[in-house]
Amino acid sequence: MSTRTRIPFLKGHGTENDFVIVPDPENALDLTPAAVAALCDRRAGIGADGVLHVVRSAAHPEARKMAAEAEWFMDYRNGDGSVAEMCGNGTRVFARYLQQAGHVGEGDLAIATRAGVKTIHIAKDGDVTVGMGRARLPEGDVTVGVGERGWPARNVNMGNPHAVAFVEDLAHAGNLFAPPSVGPAGAYPDGVNVEFVVDRGPGHVAMRVHERGSGETRSCGTGACAVAVAAARRDGADPAVTGTPATYTVDLPGGRLVITERPDGEIEMTGPAVIVAEGEIDAEWLENALR
């Protein structure tokens, strides 16, 4: 990680999807998978669903080509240390950190991610809206299963892969810290996020999610977007067909998000983002944790 004795960090969450935020503008830290996993350990570390590594785009080899569009790169890591393309709740928390640190103010900004440049709007009321881009709907039938139960699922890609299953009861998802079964074999060679969804009313659904590399989380922003896209197709409300935006309220264990898909395919996600603490990581502890 670093030879410094202390490494600054913050802790934040978006609808209780929580993150360790590591500011590192010049990309000076060697943030290994093992280091990320140690930081995210809820018993022996700080505890989080993932790490938001805050780097200037020009300083990171994966983001330099986006530096002209977005000054900051969200180098997102799952709780097990694996690299992820995108995290919707993380993007909102990332924007809130940039605001708190004085790098940006209210209004519009752009953030580079492995899924491309995302447009952000920080509202005066505190909510953050993220332009999530367009969903891709890969062809091919997929199924998800828990125990002896199984359901057909909609394959939705939001820059990261999702399998969305509509169920009668969210309790049928069982213990989502263990990944549900997904078929056919090989459908998701890099793993998949699995969402279980029930209806709450017109334009209103609730969900639980297993995030690859993290287990069940309190919220998943890209997952909420995938759910809204799947629900719109199921309900005959595809905006590209109707010419009218489709908006869904999505309840998650950690809170509520509002997802709107426009006729041009662009998807917006609006919800809260909170910084709850800041402090310093003891580098000696981290070195010992990695032995």
pLDDT in tens, 122-138: 999 889 999 999 999 99
Preceding amide of 189 cis, omega within 30: no
The reply, when asked if residue 175 is annotated as ligand binding, is no
Which amino acid would we find at residue 94?
A: F
Q: What's the token pair of residue 227?
A: 């759910």
For domain 6-127+274-289, the CATH superfamily is: Diaminopimelate Epimerase; Chain A, domain 1 (3.10.310.10)
Q: What backbone phi and psi angles, to 5 degrees, belong to 274?
A: -130, 135
Rounded-to-integer distance, Cα 191 and Cα 91, Å: 21
Nearest C-alpha neighbor of 89 from the set 129, 116, 55, 135: 129
Tokens 């944790």 belong to which residue? 289
Rounded-to-integer distance, Cα 127 and Cα 144, Å: 33
Strand, coil or helix: 242 = helix
The reply, when asked if residue 155 is annotated as ligand binding, is no
- In the DSSP assignment, the letter for residue 91 is H
For domain 142-270, the CATH superfamily is: Diaminopimelate Epimerase; Chain A, domain 1 (3.10.310.10)
The reply, when asked if residue 221 is annotated as ligand binding, is yes
Mean pLDDT across 254-279: 97
* DSSP class per residue in 199-234: EEETTEEEEEEEETTTEEES--HHHHHHHHHHHHHH
Determine what percent of the chain is predicted with pLDDT higher than 90. 88
Quote the pLDDT of residue 283: 86
CA neighbours closer than 13 Å in the CB half-sphere of residue 274: 11
For residue 2, is pLDDT > 50?
A: no
For residue 191, is pLDDT > 70?
A: yes
For residue 142, is pLDDT > 70?
A: yes
Rounded-to-integer distance, Cα 130 and Cα 119, Å: 6
Quote the pLDDT of residue 214: 87
Residues annotated catalytic, as ranges: 87, 220
For residue 213, is pLDDT > 90?
A: no
Quote the pLDDT of residue 3: 47
The reply, when asked if residue 212 is annotated as ligand binding, is yes
**Average pLDDT taken over every residue of the chain:** 95
- The band of 286, judged by pLDDT with boundaries at 50, 70 and 90, is confident
The reply, when asked if residue 157 is annotated as ligand binding, is no
Q: Which of 187-191, 224-228, 287-291 has the lowest mean pLDDT?
A: 287-291
Query: What are the extents of the domains in the chain?
Result: 6-127+274-289, 142-270
* DSSP class per residue in 124-147: TTS-EEEEEEE-B--SS-EEEEET
Quote the pLDDT of residue 4: 58
Quote the pLDDT of residue 277: 97
Q: What backbone phi and psi angles, to 5 degrees, belong to 16?
A: 70, 10
Mean pLDDT across 171-176: 93
- The band of 233, judged by pLDDT with boundaries at 50, 70 and 90, is very high
Give the tens place of pLDDT for each residue, 77-134.
999 999 988 899 999 999 999 999 999 999 999 999 999 999 999 999 889 999 999 9
Tokens 């020009």 belong to which residue? 58
